[in-house]
Amino acid sequence: MSQHPSPAELPRGNSLPRHERIIEMLATRGTIEVSALAEALGVSAVTIRADLDALEKRRLIRRIRGGAMALRPARFERPLDLPSQSFSEEKQRIGTLAASMVRDGETIILDSGTTTLALAHNLPETLTDVVVVTNGLDIAIALRAHPGITVIVTGGRVKTGGRNLESYSLISPFGTTLLREINADTAFLCCAGIDAERGFTNGNWDEAEVKKAMIDAARRVVMVADHAKIGHVGSARIASLDAVEVLITDNGAPAADLQRLEAAGLRIAVA
């Protein structure tokens, strides 16, 4: 096994060792931020950005806002070193656009997640006679005082571990029992990965089971996901692209990636 120099030993005038280390780190972690790379490699953020641009031109990595992801998708949940609060501004824009789709008198399903939580916070106070079914306890709490919304919690076991320890997601056992009794107008779902061939995926099997039940319970499905999910493939399949009416994402994804998804039949709305 080859030995790699420590960050302090890397020659600052030679980018090749850094490029090798960056590719290795991405292969292990899947996604990493510029600040983490700069600290690990002992160089400035400006240098790291230049390295990432060079590697992307060589088609060795994929640039995302604030960092980079491995070109070959990692088949697990987004790494713990990339916080669930990443891309918070983008998630707010996505949530605002998704919230504008909700109409008076509808029954909607809100999947647990930071983007759907942003959706919940952006539901207009003027909405009336809306029922929200959710497996996110934080979403239920956020909507408890909304005058025009009735909140129903799916039930089940509180998920432990994962990226977002504040989400309080409910999963099986009993995570899908109530969903089998629901006829919803729209299900708003989150995911960990979006790929033209593999469809929508997640890194947690228990959550994927609940998401599938939400799809079965709704007349239409809207996926809400920041651009970093595009090109990633999780180990648990949620749905094919044609099972989703529209993907709402932000403007950070490369145009070529969006075009591939649209060519595969997915309708995309950019917030």
Within a domain: 148: yes
Instruction: In whole angstroms, give the CA distance from residue 7 to residue 21.
Output: 9
Could you tell me if 129 and 61 lie in one domain? no
Range of the domain at 50: 7-70
Could you tell me if 59 and 130 lie in one domain? no
Task: Return phi, psi of residue 85, to 5°.
Answer: -85, 0
Could you tell me if 171 and 247 lie in one domain? yes
Written as six digits, the tokens of 51 are: 């390295």
- CB-based contacts of 183: which residues, under 8 Å, 6+ apart? 107, 217, 219
Quick one: CA dihedral 204, 238, 227, 166, positive or negative?
A: negative
Q: Does the global pTM surpass 0.85?
A: no
Could you tell me if 97 and 174 lie in one domain? yes
Q: How many helices (H) and strands (E) does the chain have?
A: 8, 15
Token pair 């899947």 is at which residue? 30
Give, for all 271 residues of the chain, the pLDDT tens digit: 434 433 333 333 456 678 888 887 887 677 888 998 998 888 999 999 999 988 888 878 888 888 888 765 444 344 333 444 456 889 999 999 999 999 999 999 999 999 999 999 999 999 999 999 999 999 999 999 999 999 999 999 998 865 555 568 999 999 999 999 999 999 999 999 999 999 999 988 999 999 999 999 999 999 999 998 998 888 899 999 999 999 999 998 888 899 999 999 999 999 9
The residue count of the chain comes to: 271
Could you tell me if 24 and 66 lie in one domain? yes
Domain tally, the chain: 2
Within a domain: 76: no
Within a domain: 1: no
Instruction: In whole angstroms, give the CA distance from residue 63 to residue 55.
Output: 9
Which of 125, 150, 127, 126 is closest to 140 using CA atoms? 150
Residues 50, 17 contacting (CB under 8 angstroms):
no
Could you tell me if 48 and 103 lie in one domain? no
CATH of the domain at 24: 1.10.10.10
Q: How far apart are the first and last CA of the chain?
A: 46
